[in-house]
Amino acid sequence: FQLQAEQTCRQLVRIQEEHEQLLQAAVEQAEGLEQSLRSAEAVLAERAAQLRDAQAQLSRNKLLIEELRGENTRFAMALQAAELKQKSMEEKNQLLEEQASALKQLIGKITPASLSG
């Protein structure tokens, strides 16, 4: 019985040592996984910050685009008004040229008549 008890005792010690090694390996694996998780969380936090920055920039860009659209509309209206004014001025200029031509013809008719009279 003594010999059997010693063998059983040694066997239990060996099993306990194996369990301790397995437990130590599991603890080390858990620590490695925890470190990997912290690294992944840090990367995710950084990416989230980048996305927030990009979203803020996108919002600013949208506002700028809206401002530029409004400005473009105002410029288009101003251009249209300027074109209308230019057309009006060209029409007035044409009318003045016609009146000047008519006056030259009238002066041309009056001058020889007054010189001969």
Report pLDDT digits (tens) over 72-115.
999 999 999 999 999 999 999 999 999 999 999 999 888 776 76
Given a cut of 60, is residue 47 above it in pLDDT? Answer: yes
pLDDT value at position 109?
A: 85
Look over the chain and give the mean of its residue pLDDT values, rounded to a whole number.
Answer: 95
pLDDT value at position 110?
A: 84
pLDDT value at position 116?
A: 66
Domain ranges of the chain: 1-84
DSSP assignment of 44-97 equals: HHHHHHHHHHHHHHHHHHHHHHHHHHHHHHHHHHHHHHHHHHHHHHHHHHHHHH
List the structure tokens of 9.
């005792």
State mean pLDDT over 4-15: 95
